[in-house]
Structure 1
Amino acid sequence: MAYTSQSSHRAAALLASAVAALGLLTACGSGNDSASTPQKVSGTAAPATGGSDSASDGTTDTGTGKATDASSGTSSSGTSTAKTGSTGGSTSGGTGTKTATSTRCHTSELKASVGGNDPGAGQENFPLVLTNTSGRTCTVRGYPGAAFTDSAGKQLGPDPKRSSGTPTTVTLKPGQSAWAGLTFSNPEISGAATATPSTLVVTPPDELDPLKVAWSGGKVPVSGNSSSVFLTVLSPGTGP
């Protein structure tokens, strides 16, 4: 009987061991991931090596060397995808490259000069010229500002008036010019009081900073009959 009892105990122990081993194997196979599927780890996706795999940044490799943005459906070449973006500004072609929003010529990009007098019918006519000295193409439009001053910087006479005209946008490539007519009645004919300026102060359209040009055109009317000085709109070139 003792022998039979020892055999029964040994059989029971072997059975318990087998059950425990079976339970351990069952526990290893449970959960969301199977033993044949690699476990996902957060972080930067490694370069694709073939097959279909989801990256941590929301892009999916299709096994063809192109990565597709899951949010937009767009694709870009390469084995891995890096998201880029930009904020603010105006962009061109979706590349994130900012483009200029204004092409107006600024004072710092221009040089002012005054051409020779072209008198006619009792009028003195001088071309006031603005030349693009920058390395970019820019535009001017409308009337420049102008004033005559003496050597101390004091203005002589009132501000010039604007002749009637239709402003147009003048595009200036580097080195190109636009001109406006600066005209007034000959003081000897009109009888206006005169002064001889040392400087013509010129302000480009829509700008605040002026340019200064030495005046060599002689006397100008500053008060009295027909003392007004007139400016025309800017046109392409350096004069009529």
Structure 2
Amino acid sequence: MAYTSPSRHRTALLASSVAVLGLLTACGNGTGTASPPQKVPGTAAPATGGPTTGAPATSTAPGSAPSGTTTAPEGTATHPGSSSPSAGGDSGSGTGTTARGTRCHTSELKATVGRNDPGAGQENFPVVLTNTSGRTCTVHGYPGAAFVDASGRQLGPDPKRESGTPSTVTLRPGASAWAGLTFSNPGVSGARTATPASLIVTPPDERDHLTVTWTAGQVPVGGNASSVFLTVFSPGTGP
């Protein structure tokens, strides 16, 4: 039996213990204290709630509209159906297709103002249209009329229409139709007055007017009882 000295025996035991310890360290991490930290693929959101690197920006500034949407400005609108009133307003003619097709045009007519027929504080003038053309034509309804000064500026408001039943008046060449123009005598009504230079007369359904020199003195243009009235056309040159 070989003899082993005590010092060698202790040395052998120590070497064996170191070898076993090294083996355990290299193979196991069950305790979690011996293995180094390991990297996991991907990114983790920080625990502090700070911005996430690489995340797409999805928020918009307060009050801004989302991308791709269009908001119409307030207060803008189209005009529905382009339905604004036509210039000159209602002609009051009430004509049918045949009457419109044969109506007298301004260029075919002559306008005159007949003699005053006063009564009961009223001034009454016939406004006469005479067919000067070589064809038969018609007038229907009310004329347009206004008093103007020498520069063509209108005096007073537009005349009003008295109630009446419009009828078609046929005018052969040289024939006439008349409509009444009436107003309260300014000396009786106390209305504000002016002295017109002319009366302009527009035939029914026409744009162009005829000018008649006004020689009958002052007319009411404002204040009390200042309205001027027109009646529908009738055949002839006056009542």
**TM-score w.r.t. length of structure 2:** 0.58
**Percent identical:** 79
**CA distance in 2 between partners of 1:101 and 1:138 (Å):** 10
**CA distance in 2 between partners of 1:224 and 1:115 (Å):** 27
Report what 1:183 is aligned to. 182
Matched, 1:173 2:145: no
Report what 1:193 is aligned to. 192
**CA distance in 2 between partners of 1:101 and 1:209 (Å):** 16
Report what 1:229 is aligned to. 228
**CA distance in 2 between partners of 1:217 and 1:229 (Å):** 14
**CA distance in 2 between partners of 1:101 and 1:218 (Å):** 36
The DSSP-based 3-state class of the residue aligned with 1:102 is helix
Pairing 1:67-106 to 2, within 5 Å after superposition: 102-106=101-105
Report what 2:64 is aligned to. none
Deviations 1:120-161 (A, max 9, x none): 000000000000000000000000000000001100000000
**CA distance in 2 between partners of 1:212 and 1:157 (Å):** 17
Structure 2 residue identity aligned to 1:188:
G
**CA distance in 2 between partners of 1:101 and 1:167 (Å):** 14
Structure 2 residue identity aligned to 1:230:
F
**CA distance in 1 between partners of 2:212 and 2:148 (Å):** 10
Structure 2 residue identity aligned to 1:168:
S
**CA distance in 1 between partners of 2:206 and 2:225 (Å):** 29
Report what 1:107 is aligned to. 106
- Unmatched tracts of structure 1, length 5 or more: 1-99
**CA distance in 1 between partners of 2:101 and 2:145 (Å):** 24
**Cα offset, 1:102, TM superposition:** 1.4
Pairing 1:1-240 to 2, within 5 Å after superposition: 102-240=101-239
Deviations 1:35-68 (A, max 9, x none): xxxxxxxxxxxxxxxxxxxxxxxxxxxxxxxxxx
Deviations 1:82-128 (A, max 9, x none): xxxxxxxxxxxxxxxxxx98110000000000001000000000000
**Cα offset, 1:189, TM superposition:** 0.4
Structure 2 residue identity aligned to 1:208:
R
Aligned residues: 141
CA RMSD of aligned residues (A): 1.2
**CA distance in 2 between partners of 1:120 and 1:238 (Å):** 19
**CA distance in 2 between partners of 1:217 and 1:174 (Å):** 29
The DSSP-based 3-state class of the residue aligned with 1:108 is helix
The DSSP-based 3-state class of the residue aligned with 2:102 is coil
**CA distance in 2 between partners of 1:101 and 1:108 (Å):** 16
Structure 1 residue identity aligned to 2:201:
V
Bigger relative CO (Cα 8 Å, ≥ 6 apart): 2
**CA distance in 2 between partners of 1:107 and 1:101 (Å):** 13
Change (3 A) 1:133 1:193: same
**CA distance in 2 between partners of 1:216 and 1:235 (Å):** 24
Change (3 A) 1:146 1:101: closer
Which structure: greater strand fraction? 1
Runs of 4+ in 1 over 6 A off after TM superposition: none
Change (3 A) 1:157 1:135: same
